Amino acid sequence: ALDLTDSRLRAVSPLHLEYLRNMQVAASFSLAVIVNERLWGLLACHGSAPMHISQANRAACEVLTNAYAVRVRLDDEAQP
């Protein structure tokens, strides 16, 4: 079996494709928010038409998502 743990681009599951069709969505882009090595949340973007996201824009989105995860961790640590 092929380990896709660190893969950035993957095929979309048939269930997710059905979910997108039910929402009448033609484009989907998701980023995992990882806090303390655990999935804290998911940033999901949807569009009504297919689109290409450049490598530079994907990298920028990943940087912003990671910055958000750091902020969440810092806020959690500041809680009494």
pLDDT at residue 3, rounded to an integer? 83
Q: How far apart are CA 73 and CA 77, in angstroms?
A: 6
Query: Quick check: helix, strand or coil at residue 41?
Result: strand
Convert the pLDDT of each residue in 7-26 to its tens digit: 777 777 889 889 999 999 99
User: Does position 54 have pLDDT exceeding 90, yes or no?
Assistant: yes
pLDDT at residue 74, rounded to an integer? 93
Q: Dig out the tokens for 39 from the structure.
A: 């999935």
Tell me how crowded residue 27 is: count the other CB atoms within 10 A of its CB.
Answer: 14
Residue that the structure tokens 């530079």 belong to: 56
Q: What is the mean pLDDT of residues 35-51?
A: 93
